Amino acid sequence: MQQVAFNTHISGRFNTELENLRNSVLTMGGEVEQQLVDTLKAIQLNHPGLAEKVIVNDLKINSMEMQIDKECLRIIAKRHPTASDLRLVMTISKVITDIERMGDEIERIARLVTKQKLPSSASVKSSMLLIGERVADMMRGTFDAFARQDEKAALEVYEQDTRIDSEYKKLLTFIASEMEKNTESMQDWLEILWALRSLERVGDRCKNICEYVISLASGEDARHTSLENLMQKLDNLS
C-alpha cells in the first residue's frame, strides 16, 4: 500500500497547506454526506422544511468548491508541487468538482420533497430509500478511502456501484410497469425518475472519486478501464 507521506517536506508550511487542503475536501465531503442523509430523512418523513434546508445548504457546498479550487490554484502557483504532491492537488481539484455535482444532484432530489412530488406508492418510496441508503454508504466509504488514500477500500466501494445499478434497473422496470397502470400522473413519475436518476448519478460520482483515489495512491490511471483490467493491474502491483 502506497501512502503519501505528509510529514517529510523540508518546508513545514507546504506540509500544513497540503494537510489543510485534504482536510477541507473531507469537510466538504462530510457536508455532502450530511445533505444526502438529510434528504433521505426528508423523503422518509415527507418534511419539506428539512428539504428546504438542504437546498439552501447547497450554496455552502458551492462556495467550498470555489475556495478549494482557488487554494489548489494557489498551491500550484506558489509551491510548484511535483509527483505525489502534484497528483494529490490535481486529484483534489477533480474530486471537488464531483463532490459539488453530487451536491447538485442531492439538491434536485430534495426538490422532490419541496414540490410535494413524492411517490404515492409506498414500495417505490421504500425502494428509493433503500437505494439512497446504499448510495449514502458508498459515499461514506468513498470519503473514507480518500482520507486514508486506501486503494483497496476504494476498489471495494467501486464494486458496490454495480449493486446499486442493478437495484436501480429493477426499480426502473417496476416503475415502468406502474406507469403503464397509472398513466395520468406521468408528470409526477417523470419527476421521480429524475430524482432516481440523480441518486444513481451520485453513486457514479462516488465511483469516479474512487477511481481518482486509486490512481492517486497507485499512480496508475484507473479511469475508463473495466473492472477485470483493474483487478489485474492491482494484482500486478501487490
Interface residues with other proteins (CB under 8 A) are 10-14, 20, 24, 27-28, 60, 63-64, 67-68, 70-71, 73-74, 77-80
C-beta of 96: minimal distance to other proteins in Å?
A: 11
Q: Which is nearer to other proteins, 47 or 79 (CB)?
A: 79
Q: How many CB atoms lie under 10 A from the CB of residue 60?
A: 13
C-beta of 76: minimal distance to other proteins in Å?
A: 9
C-beta of 71: minimal distance to other proteins in Å?
A: 5
Q: Which is nearer to other proteins, 63 or 123 (CB)?
A: 63
C-beta of 72: minimal distance to other proteins in Å?
A: 10
Q: Which is nearer to other proteins, 27 or 46 (CB)?
A: 27
In terms of Cα–Cα distance, which of 130, 227, 114, 228 is closest to 170? 130
Give dist(CA 175, CA 188) in Å, integer.
12
Q: Which is nearer to other proteins, 8 or 173 (CB)?
A: 8
Q: Which is nearer to other proteins, 64 or 206 (CB)?
A: 64
Three-state secondary structure call for residue 2: coil
Angle, alpha carbons 4-148-141 (nearest 5°):
145
C-beta of 9: minimal distance to other proteins in Å?
A: 8
In terms of Cα–Cα distance, which of 43, 203, 35 is closest to 128? 43
Q: Where are the alpha helices (H) located in the chain, listed in sequence order?
A: 12-45, 48-79, 83-114, 122-148, 151-181, 186-218, 227-237
C-beta of 108: minimal distance to other proteins in Å?
A: 22
Cell of 63: 462556495
Q: How many CB atoms lie under 10 A from the CB of residue 38?
A: 18
Q: Which is nearer to other proteins, 28 or 113 (CB)?
A: 28
Give dist(CA 119, CA 114) in Å, integer.
13
DSSP 159-192: HHHHHHHHHHHHHHHHHHHHHHH--TTHHHHHHH
